[in-house]
Structures are given as C-alpha cells and as structure tokens.
Chain A
Amino acid sequence: MVELTFIVLSVMAVSAAILALEAKEIVYGAISLMIMLMAMAGFFILLDAPFVAMFQIIVYVGAVAVLILFTVMLVRRDKWLKPPVRGLTGVGIITGLILALAFGLLLVNSNLGSVMVSSESVSFMQIGVELISEYWVALEVLALLLAASLIGALTLAKIDEGDK
C-alpha cells in the first residue's frame, strides 16, 4: 500500500515538475506547480511528518501558489510564446542529466539503500516544544524576516502616483 502510494506520488511530482516548466500556457504551468507541491505534501505524510505536510499545504498551496497565479494573470502576454533558445535547451538538458547521473550513482553506490525506517514517531508536541525552546532565536528572526519581506514586496510592487 505504501509502495503504491509512493509510486503514484513520485510519478505525480516528477511529471508535474516537468509540466510546470514545459506547459505552453504559463497558467497551466502554475497549476501543475501547485500539483507538484501537493505531491510533496503527500511525501511528507508518507514520511510520518504530518505537521510539515500541513505547513506545506497552508503556506505553499494556500498562499504562495495563489500569489503566483495572480502574478501570472497580471503579467500575462501573448508574445510570451517565444521560441526557446535552442543552444540553451541543449545545455540545460545535458547539465540536468549529468547532475542526475552523478548524484544517482553516488546514492546507489552508498549504503543508504540499507537504511530502514526508524520505528519511533515524533509527536506534534515535541515539534512545538523544540520550536520555542531550542530554536526560539531562529523563530524570532524568521518572524522579522517575514515582516521585512512583506514590507519589501509592498514597496516594490506599489504604484507611485508620480509614475503615471
């Protein structure tokens, strides 16, 4: 059962990732990016990390994907259907294949294949306690960063009255 779910999820993630980059209409690309992010949330549930999965769905599929969709609709143009640069496509495919082969061989030749699932699972409470005890500084800095990026994004995207 877990095997089947894993196979379905990985096919979904990889094909949605390819489609996100290759879809002709960029709105479809944004939607298939959403599907890929949902597949990642599925992986997190399989890996016994439901908290991270929920976080992924709320933050990514809920917020970031909607932001991307709105941006796509705002900056949409017909002349986007430019032909890709042929040389760059070739270089990209070759680099991707080399990277995949190198890391794949590295992983297959390591002994990670024999590492099995550890039996104990982690509770939500432990994550919360860890967040506010061990990593509280990082949490505060993250809150500051989110506020700063919000202000930065607002400043960047604001339309000045003098511009028009």
Chain B
Amino acid sequence: MGKRRKGIAGGLSAWLVYAAVALFVVLVGGVFLSVLLNSFAVSWFGGWLPDGFTGKWYAFAVDEFGLWNVLLVTLIVALSVTGISLLVGVPAAYALARRDFRGKSLVLGLLVLPLLVPPITYGIPLATMLYEYRLAGTLIGVILANLAPALPFVVLVMTPFIEQIDPNLERAARMMGAPTRRVFTRVLLPLAVPGILAAGLLVLVRTVAMFELTFLTAGPNSQTLVVSLYYAAFSAGIRPGQSIDAMAVIYMATTLLLLLAALRFVNPVNMVMRVRD
C-alpha cells in the first residue's frame, strides 16, 4: 500500500468544496452558538452580545415545561421501544440471516416499507386507530406508534450483522449436544452483542428524535422531549424565547450524549445506514 496521495482533482474544485464546507460549519456553529448564548441571556435585542447572563431560563424550563416529567416520559418511551424492538427484532433478524424460505423477499419488502414511507402517511390513520382503541394519548399508544419504524430498523440492521457470524460455531455447539436455547444464549448472543448494542443505541436515538409519530399520538401527559419542545416553540410569544432555547439546549445535550455513547460502538459512517443496500 503506497502512502503517497497524488493528483488532487483540480485546485479550483477543491477550494469550492472547502469553501462550501466552511460555510456549512459557520452556519451550524452560528446557529448553535446563538441558541446557547440566548439561553443564558437576560435579554438580547439586536446587539452583538446579550445584555447580561443568567441561568434562570433553565430553572424556568424545569418549572414551566415540567422538564423532569417530560424527560421521564422520553426515557420510558425510548427504553420500551428499544427493548421491545430488540426482543422481537433480533430473533426475526436471525431467521432472515440463516434461513431461506418462500416469500422471503416479500417479508423483506414489508420490513423496508415502513422506513421508506414518511411516518405521517401511516401516522394519521394509526393515530385514528389508536383513538378508537382508546390508546391515543397514553404512553402505550406512543410506544406502539414508535415501534412501527423501530422494529423494521432493528431487523434490517441486525440481519447483515448476524449473517457475518460464522454458522459453523452454532453447528459445533449443536453437535456437542447443546439445545437450541443454549446455542442462542451461549454462542450466538455473546457474538451478536456489539451489533445489538449498536442497533439498540441507534433505535434509542431515533426514538428520542422521532417527531411525527409521537406528535400525532401523544396526549398532554405522554409528550416526549421533542414534541413538548415543538409545542413550546409553536406557542412562542406566550413564553420567552430564551426558555425555549434552554429547552432546545437540553434536548441537544440529551441526544448528543446518546450519540456519543453510540459512537463508541459504531463508526459514524454506519450510523446513517438506515436501509441495507
């Protein structure tokens, strides 16, 4: 493997790319910094910097938006969705990775579709349906709605991962007389742990960030952070902008923490592989 890198295609095009990326970084940095500064601002009208700094908007967010309750709901929803989709999705991924059967491509198609169709298209009928079963507005309703895209996601991420685990290991265990359950818990599961962790964290992040489905199915007491943040921003004017910014910073800190945890297990490049090629 030669180490030299020669032939950078065209100096001008390189500069254009770097300039565009620099503009993007300035844009994102500026957006983030202005929210962060404003969330600590006493007031900020037109100057380069706020008129003074205070931490009171975070206290305001805790009191006014019921932050602890919202965080608790977010945690319950995200963990339940992750737990259930792993529990149901990993065995399904195992079956898809190891077996060929009639209608397999139909099953795969059925699993890709919820990830391709925008959530709002099945979210509105799903919400209507949940209303009829009196589940809309409850935690269970929100969890069920979020499972619709989360479960296919787990199956599609886990299938290639299980495919690359050598089936001979399972065969060897079986040959030595281990029953199926033992093969699963002692051989397959330990080998699949990195994939399960990665899939689980990605589903956790996606569920925390899932706006549409939660928005359509949540009631006043089952709002996750992203939905109550949207309501806060939507009713801007009633509440000071700084308190919304404080909530937005808290939201970002939450997802950033989750993503940093995920990055320990997954290369950022694989983070967005939502649909397997």
Report whether chain A binds chain B: no
Chain A residues within 8 Å of B, Cβ to Cβ: none
